[in-house]
């Protein structure tokens, strides 16, 4: 486990940013999970797995010090990059 992830711990009190990250709904997460899957990330094509993956990405950013809006925007931009670069998977030709 990386040192950065070891340092990310949950605070004693839930903040509004953490609550927003944990409260992301399935229907908000599917399209982002699909974009990351295009890049080759191993995300099970099940709503709960997609939701958990996206919540985890956003929550990691929040716990590293970003606001929810910053964390969500970063995940969104990463998904757009993944979708743009993910028209082919590793080993496939475009």
Between the CA atoms of 36, 55, 51 and 77, what dihedral angle is there, to the nearest 10 degrees? -30
Q: How far is CA 61 from the centre of its chain?
A: 9
Query: What per-residue confidence (pLDDT) applies to 92?
Result: 52
What mean pLDDT value characterizes the chain?
88
Region 13-31 average pLDDT: 96
Say whether pLDDT at 7 is over 70. Answer: no
Among the listed residues 46, 36, 43, the one whose alpha carbon sits nearest the alpha carbon of residue 77: 36
Region 56-62 average pLDDT: 97
Say whether pLDDT at 49 is over 80. Answer: yes
Instruction: Say if CB 26 and CB 53 are below 8 A apart.
Output: no
The DSSP annotation for 20-85 comes to: HHHT--HHHHHHHHHHHHHTT----SSHHHHHHHHHHHHHHHHHTT--HHHHHHHHHHHHHHHHHH
Residue-wise pLDDT tens digits, 60-94: 999 999 999 999 999 999 999 998 886 555 545 44
């Amino acid at each position: 486990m990386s040192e950065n992830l070891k340092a990310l711990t949950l605070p004693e009190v839930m903040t509004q940013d953490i609550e927003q990250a944990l409260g992301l709904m399935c229907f908000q997460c599917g399209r982002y999970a699909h974009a990351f899957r295009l890049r080759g990330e191993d995300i099970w094509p099940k709503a709960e797995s997609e939701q958990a993956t996206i919540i985890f990405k956003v929550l990691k950013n929040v716990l590293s010090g970003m606001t929810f809006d910053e964390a969500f925007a970063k995940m969104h931009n990463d998904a757009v990059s993944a979708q743009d670069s993910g028209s082919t998977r590793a080993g496939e030709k475009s």
